[in-house]
Amino acid sequence: MIGSLSRATPVIVQGITGRMGRGHAALMRSYGTNIVGGTSVRTDVTEAAGVPVFPNCAEAVLATGAVASVLMAPPLETLGAVREALTAGIKLIVTVAEGVPIHDAIRIGRAVRRAGAVWVGASTPGLAVPGECKLGFLPDVCLSPGPIGIMSKSGTLSYEVGYRLAREGLGQSIWVGVGGDPVKGVRFADMLPVFFDDPRTKGIVLVGEVGGVEEEECAEAYARLGARKPLFALIAGREAKEGVSMGHAGALVHGETGTLDSKTRRLTAARATVFGSIDELIKRCVRFCLFDRG
Amino acid sequence: MLLIEADGKALFAEQGIPVPAGVVVTDVVTALPGDGPWMVKAQVPVGGRGKAGGIVRCGSKAEVEAAVGSMLGGRLKGHAVDACLVEAAAVGQERYISVMVDAASYGLRVIYAAAGGVEIEESGSAEGRLCAAHPGAVAEALEDLLAGEPVAWRDQVAAIGKAMATLLIDKELALVEINPLFVSESDCVAGDAKVVVDLNAVERQPVIAAMIAARPVVYMDANRKIAEGFDYVELDPEGEIGLVTTGAGLSMMLIDELVARGAKPLNFCDIRTGQMRGSPARLIRVLEWITARPSLKAVLVNIFAGITDLGEFSGLLAAAMQASPGFKVPVVARLVGRNAAEAKRILGEAQPGMLVTEELAEALVRIDTIVAAAS
């Protein structure tokens, strides 16, 4: 689903009459995303950001044929809104709310899995196929079509990386913000087959963080799948305070679990390269694209 | 966020999980539970307290007083110790048991090990089961895991495990761990309590909310987040560089890079410019907190604005600086995004000579220079 996104993919925005929904629907449209409608609890509004507004997902899907939804609901309402989207037959759900409780996220994950759908979130800046479309709010200034696949827990750190790569002439094939939540939809390891099978992608950048075991899991999958394309990793949080969530609920170190050391060791053993600074990562990507590929 | 042991044990007691008799001491030791021996434990929300000297076994009241006296007012693994838990030392064999949310399976993971102790994570002797997120499923998983245990305490441990699962689900926790769990024929009791709460669920969890609010010092960062709606974590009360930054990942990376070059960042900060809505209130708060530390030598502002208008942000920053009379240190601003030129003009007027740049490397070099000149 993620690999085949294009400017033709019909997308709705749930919560399109709110401040965020309206604003980001307009920005996505101006980038080229095929926003075909939105939903809202408000019955007095029939149009927002230049597209029709429906009372619920079922009616929106029926009228527009949408297959993907960008969900702009508050964190405690995200679970209900995801259920609504799944019931309507939506196959790709992008949730942007910061602060979805983990026990809600478990329920979302189960429902999405049962429905055979794909979920990006809980808290994500979204995903993009630069030059085609973006779902969410990845800043246009960072987006540029090119050979690098980006997957990131952090929004801002990936903006920084994407922006600097683009400045060096290296754009992105597919960019997915998996988000910084401990319980989430698409994980780093899930993205590897997508990048491996995508002919536009020549190299992969992983922007990780301390906490959880997603980087370790990705290292295992990378080795198992045969390391078909180079994987360059940057992991934030070497100096994170133990026992305290550093902004992202998932960025929590306790004991040996989730440390930078454990992630670096596992990724390196799987023949990925881990960098200590943004500069080093950028330089390596440039060298790879200019020289190594020949 | 990790609760201190005393709060974890309060949740345990309420859920019917046996805990040793104990008292929380914040000042002088008065009545002691039982006749000894006792365990004195520093109440800081961090693991590995034993290895760091935060857990001491005492045989007499004098030893308890000495241990409490040496812990209170000190620091342990970066956290101030303002309370100790003094408990009757439990007896029996040691076990390990935990119930946690398992992100990959969208369910729970139950782990049990017939050997407890602090080395559990390295020992590899622990066995785990994945199950659905309800107490019945946890009870079934435990039947398997406890098959090798003597009948004498198997049922008691199973009941504790089920109570841990109920607690985890009802209070929307991320982790409930007991290490060690003391088991014997007479009774089973939780030697420790490691409970990780989900701050995103606090709004609908009044018991947890009250627990956090009751300890403004221990849970300073969490209380800040709940009250202010954004993240600010003090890393080093003697830090020299205050950070005004947005985005958790970029802020963490910046801290890593500052420390790598020998600098001393004071704080982590994810101010969320998108939520400021034309008010300098958040910026004023952050300036107030960092200015409160006399070691402060410079402030580094780093904003990568995807959506935010940097002109508007800079106006708010200038207003916040003006509204903070105690704020006197030099500021370096690294700003990328919309309206950077306007931002440069506004900030140049707010603090003449301020470096406003798009280049992070240039900003870091200037910070080095300022800190060196002030030292």
Which of the residues A24, A103, A248, A254 is marked catalytic?
A248
Give the model confidence (pLDDT) of B332-352 as tens digits.
999 998 899 999 999 999 999
Helix (H, G, I), strand (E, B) or coil at B33: coil
Strands A231-236, A203-209: parallel, antiparallel or unpaired by DSSP? parallel
Nearest to B7 by CA among B200, B225, B218: B218
Average pLDDT across chain B, whole number:
93
Six-digit token pair at B86? 């003094």
Chain B residue numbers touching A282 (CB-CB < 8 A): none
Q: Which of B151, B185, B203 is the last residue of a domain?
A: B203
Predicted-complex ipTM score: 0.89
Helix (H, G, I), strand (E, B) or coil at B44: coil
Q: Are residues B337 and B276 part of one domain?
A: yes
Six-digit token pair at B98? 């935990």
Contact A237 B121 (CB under 8 A): no
To test the contact with chain B by mutation, choose from A113, A142, A156 the residue with the greatest count of B C-beta atoms within 10 A, namely A156
Give the model confidence (pLDDT) of A73-101 as tens digits.
999 999 999 999 999 999 999 999 999 99
Nearest to A140 by CA among B245, B314, B335, B337: B337
Separation of alpha carbons A105 and A43, rounded Å: 29
Nearest to B12 by CA among B167, B145, B185: B167
Q: Does domain A11-120 have CATH number 1.10.357.10?
A: no
Give the model confidence (pLDDT) of B94-122 as tens digits.
999 999 999 999 999 999 998 766 566 55
Cβ count within 10 A of residue B177: 22
In this structure, is residue B77 part of a structural domain? yes
Work out the minimum CA distance from A62 to partner chain B, whole angstroms. 30
- Which is more confidently placed, A208 or B115? A208
Domain span at residue B250 reads 229-374
Residue of B nearest to A212 (CA): B103
To test the contact with chain B by mutation, choose from A112, A150, A246 the residue with the greatest count of B C-beta atoms within 10 A, namely A246
Upstream peptide bond of B180 is cis (omega within 30 degrees of 0): yes
Return all residues near A253 (Cβ < 8 A) that are at least 6 apart. A210, A211, A237, A240, A242, A243, A259
Q: Residue B127's pLDDT band (boundaries 50, 70, 90)?
A: confident
Chain A residue numbers touching B304 (CB-CB < 8 A): 156, 159-160, 163
A145 close to A130: Cβ distance less than 8 angstroms: yes
Work out the minimum CA distance from B253 to partner chain A, whole angstroms. 5
Separation of alpha carbons B197 and B173, rounded Å: 5
Work out the minimum CA distance from A248 to partner chain B, whole angstroms. 6
Helix (H, G, I), strand (E, B) or coil at B316: helix
Residue type, B152: A
To test the contact with chain A by mutation, choose from B179, B243, B246, B252 the residue with the greatest count of A C-beta atoms within 10 A, namely B252
Work out the minimum CA distance from A17 to partner chain B, whole angstroms. 18
B111 close to B126: Cβ distance less than 8 angstroms: yes
Residue extent(s) of CATH 3.40.50.720 domains in chain A: 11-120
Q: Are residues B73 and B105 part of one domain?
A: no
Cα–Cα distances in angstroms (integers) from residue B156 to residues A142, B63, B65, B127, in the given order: 57, 33, 34, 19
* CATH code, domain carrying B256: 3.40.50.261
Q: Are residues B44 and B122 part of one domain?
A: no
Chain A with chain B: Cβ pairs closer than 8 A: 183
Number of domains chain B contains: 3
Return all residues near A151 (Cβ < 8 A) that are at least 6 apart. A175, A176, A177, A178, A188, A191, A195, A204, A205, A206, A207
Contact A247 B103 (CB under 8 A): no
Give the model confidence (pLDDT) of A117-144 as tens digits.
999 999 999 999 999 999 999 999 999 9
Q: Which of A154, A187, A246 sits opposite B233 (nearest CB)?
A: A246
In this structure, is residue B14 part of a structural domain? no
Any idea of the CA torsion for B162, B165, B170, B172, to the nearest 10 degrees?
A: 170
Among A249-253, B207-211, B282-286, B346-350, the least confident range: A249-253
Percent of chain A with pLDDT over 90: 87
In this structure, is residue B165 part of a structural domain? yes
CA atoms in the 13 A half-sphere facing the CB of A269: 14
Q: Are residues B327 and B300 part of one domain?
A: yes
What is the average per-residue pLDDT within A237-261?
Answer: 71
Q: Are residues B233 and B370 part of one domain?
A: yes
| pLDDT (0 to 100) of residue A218 | 97
Specify which residues B127 forms β-bridges with.
B112
Separation of alpha carbons B6 and B12, rounded Å: 10
| pLDDT (0 to 100) of residue A188 | 98
Give the model confidence (pLDDT) of B57-87 as tens digits.
999 999 999 999 999 999 998 889 999 999 9
Specify which residues B75 forms β-bridges with.
B80
Q: Residue A254's pLDDT band (boundaries 50, 70, 90)?
A: low
Contact A153 B231 (CB under 8 A): no
Contact A234 B221 (CB under 8 A): no
Contact A247 B270 (CB under 8 A): yes
Helix (H, G, I), strand (E, B) or coil at B164: helix
Give the model confidence (pLDDT) of B216-263 as tens digits.
988 988 998 888 888 899 999 999 999 999 988 999 999 999 999 999
| pLDDT (0 to 100) of residue A136 | 96
Nearest to A104 by CA among B164, B227, B169: B169
Give the model confidence (pLDDT) of A100-109 as tens digits.
999 999 999 9
In this structure, is residue B5 part of a structural domain? no
In this structure, is residue B213 part of a structural domain? no
Give the model confidence (pLDDT) of A43-68 as tens digits.
999 999 999 999 999 999 999 999 99
Residue of A nearest to B255 (CA): A239
Residue extent(s) of CATH 3.40.50.261 domains in chain A: 139-292
| pLDDT (0 to 100) of residue B47 | 84
Cβ count within 10 A of residue B35: 7
Q: Which of A107, A244, A255 sits opposite B121 (nearest CB)?
A: A255
Look-up: residue for tokens 């920084």? Answer: A160
Q: Residue A258's pLDDT band (boundaries 50, 70, 90)?
A: confident
Work out the minimum CA distance from A144 to partner chain B, whole angstroms. 14
Q: Which of B88, B112, B128 is the last residue of a domain?
A: B88
Separation of alpha carbons B363 and B369, rounded Å: 10
In this structure, is residue B248 part of a structural domain? yes
Q: Residue A294's pLDDT band (boundaries 50, 70, 90)?
A: very low
What is the average per-residue pLDDT within A193-208?
Answer: 97
CATH number of A139-292: 3.40.50.261
* CATH code, domain carrying B110: 3.30.470.20
Residue of B nearest to A244 (CA): B1
Task: Answer whether residue A156 shows pLDDT above 80.
Answer: yes
Q: Which of B107, B194, B336 sits opposite A163 (nearest CB)?
A: B336
In this structure, is residue B218 part of a structural domain? no
Give the model confidence (pLDDT) of B18-54 as tens digits.
999 999 999 999 899 999 899 999 999 988 899 999 9
Query: Which long-range contacts link B31-37 to residues 24+ away (Cβ below 8 Å)?
Result: B32/B61, B32/B64, B32/B86, B33/B86, B33/B87, B33/B88, B34/B88, B36/B60, B36/B61, B36/B88, B36/B89, B37/B89
Chain B residue numbers touching A236 (CB-CB < 8 A): 249-250, 252-253, 256
Work out the minimum CA distance from B151 to partner chain A, whole angstroms. 33
What letters, b where the CB count within 10 A reaches 16 and e where it falls short, cover A81-93? bbbbbbebebbbb
Task: Answer whether residue A256 shows pLDDT above 80.
Answer: no
Give the model confidence (pLDDT) of A10-21 as tens digits.
999 999 999 899
Which contiguous run of DSSP H or E holds residue B68? Answer: helix B61-71
In this structure, is residue B132 part of a structural domain? yes
Which contiguous run of DSSP H or E holds residue B154? Answer: helix B151-170
Instruction: Please confirm, yes or no, whether A24 is among the known catalytic residues.
Output: no
Separation of alpha carbons B356 and B81, rounded Å: 40
Separation of alpha carbons A278 and B256, rounded Å: 11
Task: Answer whether residue A253 shows pLDDT above 80.
Answer: no
Task: Answer whether residue A255 shows pLDDT above 60.
Answer: no
Q: Are residues B184 and B148 part of one domain?
A: yes
Q: Are residues B294 and B167 part of one domain?
A: no
Q: Are residues B274 and B299 part of one domain?
A: yes
Contact A241 B259 (CB under 8 A): no
